[in-house]
Structure 1
């Protein structure tokens, strides 16, 4: 039997992303911009390059998302004390309230997705997905830095 776990992971990710885009449309956060907001909340003072790494996206995509959520007054940039070219990202009060709502949606979606799994199964699934994430992230870095995969 040939396994295609990536197809299942992709289906899950697209479905949850579509749900979030519909539910967050009223707050004008879409196309994953809510991910940027919550990661900045989780990592106060993060810089955009590190944020891009965490989300496994390119810096240009990250810059556009940051620009949008900053324009909406959800985050603010503060200069680094030693290097003025470095901007640290922080969630504003408005962004904090929105991030809390997003976190509630995430917790709800997690419970919905894991319904029917006992605690041991949930832990095993988490461990397995961490390994998959590690493998894919390492390969993403390889390709991003000019590496060519041999099929």
Structure 2
């Protein structure tokens, strides 16, 4: 039963990701970069380590995507006033415009995939998925930090 649920969650995620990758290709964003851009817009001044945690990716993957966004002039890095090793991330004007388009697509996709559900069902789904997400993040942290899972 659990595998069937994870299969469905994965299928939904892959379908929406594929749609986004096709639609955002014209924005010259490669796979997944749109996630980084929107999170930076939503969290001005975020640092790369925190962004990696939010997206559940390793720091190396985050660094690569952030570097690409910076080369495309979609984000900027600014040094921290106190700790010169820390770089805060901000969207540029162009990045802000693209992020708004991405957010509009996300709202549209949410509306489409939730059609046929009433408000109560949507709220239940949100609560259930929040628990599933929390559990997945716990497992990700365990494995990322060298822990072993017993099957």
TM-score (norm 1): 0.98
Aligned equivalent of 1:46? 46
Question: Which SS does the other structure have where 1:67 is aligned?
Answer: helix
RMSD: 0.6
Question: Which SS does the other structure have where 1:147 is aligned?
Answer: coil
Cα drift, residue 31 of structure 1: 1.1
Cα drift, residue 28 of structure 1: 1.0
Aligned residues: 150
Aligned equivalent of 2:124? 124
Question: Which SS does the other structure have where 2:76 is aligned?
Answer: strand
Residue deviations 1:64-89 (CA, integer Å, cap 9, x gap): 00001110100000000001110000
Please give the alpha-carbon distance, in whole angstroms, between the structure 2 residues aligned to 1:27 and 1:104.
14
Aligned equivalent of 2:30? 30
TM-score (norm 2): 0.98
Please give the alpha-carbon distance, in whole angstroms, between the structure 1 residues aligned to 2:5 and 2:137.
16
Please give the alpha-carbon distance, in whole angstroms, between the structure 2 residues aligned to 1:25 and 1:109.
17
- Is residue 66 of structure 1 aligned with residue 60 of structure 2? no
Aligned equivalent of 1:15? 15
Where in structure 2 are there 5+ consecutive unaligned residues? none
Cα drift, residue 17 of structure 1: 0.5
Cα drift, residue 137 of structure 1: 0.2
Question: Which SS does the other structure have where 2:26 is aligned?
Answer: helix
Give runs of ≥4 in structure 1 deviating > 3 Å: none
Please give the alpha-carbon distance, in whole angstroms, between the structure 2 residues aligned to 1:51 and 1:71.
18
Question: Which SS does the other structure have where 1:89 is aligned?
Answer: strand
